[in-house]
Amino acid sequence: MHAIFVGNYGGPEVMTWTELPDPVPGPGEALVRVGVAGVNYMDTGARTTPLPGWSIPTVLGVEGMGYVTALGGGVLDLAVGDRVAWYYHKGSYAEQVAVPADSLVKVPEYVDDETAAAVMMQGLTANHFTTETYPIKPGDTAVVHAAAGGVGLMLTQMIKARGGAVIGLVSREEKVAIAKEAGADLVLVSSGGGFEDRVKDLTGGEGAHVVYDGGGAPTFRSSQLALRRHGVHAYYGPFMGVPSLTPMELPSSILLSYPTVADHVPTRDALLERTAEVFDFVRKGQLKPRIGERYALADAARAHEDLESRRTTGKLLLLP
């Protein structure tokens, strides 16, 4: 089989289309022919710098969907031919992967292949953000960074489905319409900090209930200042820089969270429950992932170049 292999840290040029031995499923694993792989900022981070749980050399990618072609010993709840998806399995930029069966979920018939791949990592992330990180209630106002990106578009739709209002932030004027199409009530063009006064003005001087901040160090302080008293700063932009602060620097008695989706699905039962919630949003028409671009798997380096340039909108997919 072929996969996107990285032997050294660096830019997209270190990603090589490499022939590797076909994987063999071990006990408790399923062999999956990859149908669609998702692209995430985590993938660019794993390519450029050491991350917890990652090392070089490696095959990139953590998310996708595909078809079960073989089973290892002890797998009882899957069958050859099943259509499955996963939200975190290293090495997903490949034609085949051997995945722990407990990490796989069956894809309902009403969810197409591309949607299944698109909503696993980012859909579960958005579900986490709008439930356990900050339970969105009718009348709440949320600020969504990168509102025309993959996470931002899904976040916006889930916030609206739960009755909240969205102030979206986008980096370029041409992205405003995309964020509004997903349901954002107001959209501000901002590529860094300095947006807090506008958010305060739009909320009658109070500030937002929650800010979902994937903008990294440049947006960190402004996100906190845009919150009302006891608001929640959900920070998920470590690949864009990690600021340092002391508790005394937190304004307005706000709460700071670094939410990771692994804490949303810590068990097999939780994974099945939460993915069912995400798929149900799809079934109801409340979650429609925007596919920003499709690339051949062999062209994954170009997908990374486009993602890092901030030229993209929506979800980027790789097709083996």
**CATH T-level fold of 123-262:** Rossmann fold (3.40.50)
The matching CATH number, chosen from 3.10.20.30, 3.40.50.720, 3.50.50.60, 3.90.180.10, for 2-107+290-319 is 3.90.180.10
The answer to whether the predicted template modeling score (pTM) of the entire model surpasses 0.85 is yes
Whole-angstrom distance, CA of residue 206 vs CA of residue 198: 11
Whole-angstrom distance, CA of residue 301 vs CA of residue 55: 19
| 3 state SS of 156 | helix
Dihedral sign, Cα of residue 176, residue 187, residue 310, residue 314:
negative
Whole-angstrom distance, CA of residue 29 vs CA of residue 25: 5
pLDDT tens for 216-249 read: 888 999 999 999 999 999 999 766 667 788 899 9
**33 secondary structure, DSSP code:** E
Please tell me the predicted confidence (pLDDT) of residue 241. Answer: 67
> What is the share, in percent, of the chain residues with pLDDT greater than 90?
89
pLDDT tens for 103-138 read: 999 999 999 999 999 999 999 999 999 999 999 999
Dihedral sign, Cα of residue 312, residue 317, residue 319, residue 320:
positive
Evaluate whether 2-107+290-319 and 123-262 have a shared fold: no
Dihedral sign, Cα of residue 297, residue 303, residue 304, residue 305:
positive
User: Is pLDDT of 83 > 80?
Assistant: yes
In the chain, where are the structural domains located? 2-107+290-319, 123-262
Specify burial of residue 108 (Cβ count, 10 A radius: 0-12, 13-18, 19+): middle
Backbone angles phi, psi at 103, to 5 degrees: -95, -5
pLDDT tens for 117-126 read: 999 999 999 9
pLDDT tens for 158-182 read: 999 999 999 999 999 999 999 999 9
